[in-house]
Chain A
Amino acid sequence: MNQEKTLLNQLERILPLVEKPGRYVGGEYNSVVKNWEEVSTKIALVFPDIYDIGLSNLGLQILYENINQRKDCLAERAYSPWQDMEDLLRQNKIPLYSLESKSPLKDFDMIGFTLPYETLYTNTLNLLNLSQIPIRTENRGKELPLIIAGGHATYNPEPMAPFIDAFLIGEGEEILLEVIDAYQKWKKDDLSKNELLLNISSIDGVYVPSFYDPQYNPDGTFLNMKVENKSVPKKVTKRIMGKLPYAPTRFIVPSIGVVHNRIAVEIMRGCTRGCRFCHAGMINRPIRERTVQEIIQTIEIGLENTGFEEVALLSLSSSDYTNVLELVEEISNKFAGKNLTISLPSLRIDSFSVGLMEKLKGSRQGGFTLAPEAASERMRKIINKPISEEMLLTTAFEIFKRGWHTIKLYFMIGHPSETLEDVAEIAALCKKVLAVGLKAIGRRAKVHAGVSTFVPKPHTPFQWVACDQQESIRQKQNLLREELKGPGLKFNWTDPKETVMEAWLSRGDRRLAEVIETAWKNGAKFDAWQDFKNYDIWMHAFSDANLDPDFYVHRERNIDEIFPWDHIYPGVKKTYLKTEYLNSLSLRLRSDCREQCYACGITQTFNHLRKEDPGIVWKCPNLSPRKSKNELSIPN
């Protein structure tokens, strides 16, 4: 009590001195404050970036509601303080605290970091340090909180392995509660920390890196993972929910302005398109849909609970949601006249999508977004995203005709097979779309090209591919900049330094941990903020560790290479990924796997879930004695 009083006194003095003090005070509508005396297990959930960005993260919201529903647990939140607040916290020796009860993070039983992308790693170390907690597992005893992490980046956990006690791979709803149960039992039995780690390592989906010892070849490539303890699994398979559980409805309503002020509802998880560059599409299989009724109900209750005016319907490919038309019609009927903004991103490029967007009766302000990714036939076959130019132009015409003035087109450059001609076609395509717009609505038409740079990701068919060299990327961007000058055109791009920063982390091994630590110690933070002023710090950190970033970024992998993340299994077999990689080399297209199963491995891996509950509806074929077709493609 006394401790809290002192902290509040200190905060009262420093909050007037910082930008947006509302980031650090909590008290939001729908935040849950429980009595610490009445609860046995306390978990801090942390998004390692500032409040404005982290508050609306759906993953954390799901876990927050899940944990707080249990009478014996509580969950509270923390975010990265901005630099001005961090300086004051350090100066005044105030340890990082949770928003709800203002408790220091080091007083919690567990701290769970969500890691959706790799550029949050230095912030994660910084948050541990701000909490006055040693950043390395080996330096933390059982009196300190258990440090766990989940999220998409953890499918290659190795760069963060020395800092995180346990990674929870996959969908967190069940696995986190199981870890809490194991923790509670361990606490009662009063055993060593190692006992705790051993216990939780037996939970499906939990990866405890301290039981795994990476071995390397003389040339620096990965040899294998040595596992001394026989009771620890050699391979950790992700956890998934067979059926999507209830969707969160008690969204925290910020008292200040943040990036997103809306209800987010997942309409489905997973994707069957098979785009070869897409990490999310590979690791989130299989497709599991929510029913239209469930979605409508979630929106209703969510609006009642929050008073928000905006709803975002989330999925990787909305057009593939089976009942998307019914959903959109029901939504526009049910919520007509309520001033609601509904966003349905990730739509396929066809006129049907335009009709859907129209039905949602949203404002035409933001522009209509399409993601062709590639402009030349050749590149489309390589990445496996075949969208015909004709379809794009027809759809664009519809979009302009029906009231939108701006079309945003997302493209990707940087695949090593790409030529300058391929890139020139991107510019040409944008101009064709603009021409269509000029015909449809005259000079009001605008085309914004958002061109991101390809980063090869683990567990995708492109995990063997080299990332394009910086000079090559710049050359391509210069070409686009030249070509996309002029009225009605806008060109957004990513600095190649940002790209390589993501690239060396995403396919890094455990040796990278030293680089991350050194970079953080020398001031690297907020790497996701695209200021790339940290680039030089990272380069020095690499040379201090005697490692070459090019080895991780620009090296094409040998087809038989063992990867430092092979022991983490997303349910999609490496042989399938290899086949897809070889298909990309021979320009072979693969259809949506609902039309034809390519036996990626997901149904075998999770067969037990379907057996337990035959009512589960995935978009995978039913298992039959005869094996489904699987065409192998070998390049000449």
Chain B
Amino acid sequence: MWERTFRRAKLPLAYSQGFHPQPKIQQASPLPLGFLSDYEIVDFFLEQEMDILPLEAALNNSLPSGISVNSIIKINLVEPALQTQTIASEYHILFLEEFDSNKIIESIQDLKSKKTVIRSRRGKSYDLRPLILDLEIIMEDSCYLKMLLKSKDGATGRPEEVLSELNIPVEFTRIIRKKIILAYEVQNNN
């Protein structure tokens, strides 16, 4: 999708060397099928420098409906790769069906009290508990679950796994990624 968008926008996207040149586009963390997102991060390399405003306009004109660029920042080439900088993802889980908030509060407390939560994914077992950095139910005008899950290579917490532990069927929810948290942001906050 990105590669075609850049081509439509006639932007000088850089490609890798070799027999099968790949476009130099890197995602912080691929968004799983069926999720919504307010906040995705993509790094891309151009063959030449460009001003941000025309770049943003060109991309927004060529993107399919449903995706738009919020901001573009120029970064130093020596910065570490986006995937290595990615630490965590924050999700909001909205409910599409009626639910029992007390039951959910109980399930959350239960889950948080456990030291380990062994689950199996794609035939491999893993511990979900340390991947849950934060989990709470927010009850304002609308009710939703807020989750902060670790998002690193080999250790990525998935919202559906947490929902499964809470006995909430995924078809009754809408999952929105609200933020991807990068290493330098954590440092800055400390």
Contact = CB atoms under 8 A, between A and B. Distances in A.
25 contacts: A12-B174, A13-B96, A13-B171, A14-B171, A15-B34, A16-B34, A17-B171, A27-B65, A28-B64, A29-B4, A29-B8, A29-B63, A29-B65, A253-B64, A255-B1, A303-B7, A304-B10, A306-B4, A307-B3, A307-B4, A307-B5, A307-B6, A307-B8, A308-B4, A309-B7
A487 interface: no
B172 interface: yes
Residue from A255, A306, A308, A339 having most chain B Cβ neighbours under 10 A: A255
Interface string A291-312: 0000000000001111111000
B64 A255 contact: yes
Residue from B3, B10, B33 having most chain A Cβ neighbours under 10 A: B33
A21 B32 CA distance: 13
Given A12-B96, A29-B4, A309-B7, 5 more contacts: A12-B174, A27-B65, A303-B7, A307-B4, A307-B8
Contacts of A308: 4
Nearest to A303: B7
B8 A21 contact: no
Given A12-B96, A13-B96, A339-B21, A27 B4 contact: no
Nearest to A33: B65
Given A21-B34, A27-B66, A13 B4 contact: no
A9 interface: yes
Contacts of B6: 307
A420 B66 CA distance: 60
Contacts of B171: 13-14, 16-17
A433 to B, nearest CB: 28
Contacts of B104: none
Residue from B4, B5, B174 having most chain A Cβ neighbours under 10 A: B4
Interface of A: 9, 12-17, 21, 27-29, 253, 255, 303-309, 339
B86 to A, nearest CB: 24
A306 B8 CA distance: 6
B61 to A, nearest CB: 11
A21 B7 contact: no
A306 B62 CA distance: 9
Smallest CB-CB A-B distances: 6 pairs:
A307-B4, A307-B7, A29-B64, A307-B8, A13-B171, A16-B34
Interface in B162-190: 170-172, 174
How big is the B interface, by class? 20 to 34
A4 to B, nearest CB: 16
A562 B2 CA distance: 57
Contacts of B4: 29, 253, 306-308
Contacts of A339: 21
A253 to B, nearest CB: 6
A460 B33 CA distance: 49
Residue from A17, A21, A304 having most chain B Cβ neighbours under 10 A: A304
A65 B81 CA distance: 43
Given A9-B96, A27-B64, A255-B64, A305 B8 contact: yes
Contacts of B34: 15-16, 21
A234 to B, nearest CB: 50
Nearest to B7: A307
A339 B23 CA distance: 12
A339 B66 CA distance: 28
A304 B5 CA distance: 10
A305 B5 CA distance: 10
A307 B62 contact: yes
A304 B8 CA distance: 5
A304 B61 CA distance: 12
A28 B8 CA distance: 14
Given A9-B96, A307-B4, A307-B5, A21 B64 contact: no
Nearest to B6: A307
Contacts of B174: 12
Contacts of A306: 4, 8
B170 to A, nearest CB: 6
A253 B65 CA distance: 12
Contacts of B3: 307
A31 B65 CA distance: 10
Contacts of A15: 34
A85 to B, nearest CB: 14
Nearest to B65: A27
A351 B92 CA distance: 63
Residue from A14, A16, A253, A306 having most chain B Cβ neighbours under 10 A: A16
Contacts of A12: 96, 174
A13 B1 contact: no
Contacts of B96: 9, 12-13
Contacts of A17: 171
A256 to B, nearest CB: 9
Contacts of B1: 255
Contacts of A304: 8, 10
Contacts of A14: 171
Interface string B1-44: 10111111010000000000100000000000110000000000
A13 B174 CA distance: 9
Contacts of A29: 4, 8, 62-65
B12 to A, nearest CB: 13
Contact of B33 (A13, A21, A307, A309): A21
A13 B172 contact: yes
Contacts of A309: 7
A577 B90 CA distance: 70
Contacts of A21: 33-34
A16 B5 contact: no
A22 to B, nearest CB: 8
Nearest to B160: A16
A309 B7 CA distance: 9
Nearest to B19: A363
Nearest to A25: B66
Nearest to A261: B4
B3 to A, nearest CB: 7
Residue from A9, A13, A339 having most chain B Cβ neighbours under 10 A: A13
Contacts of A305: 8
Interface in B139-173: 170-172
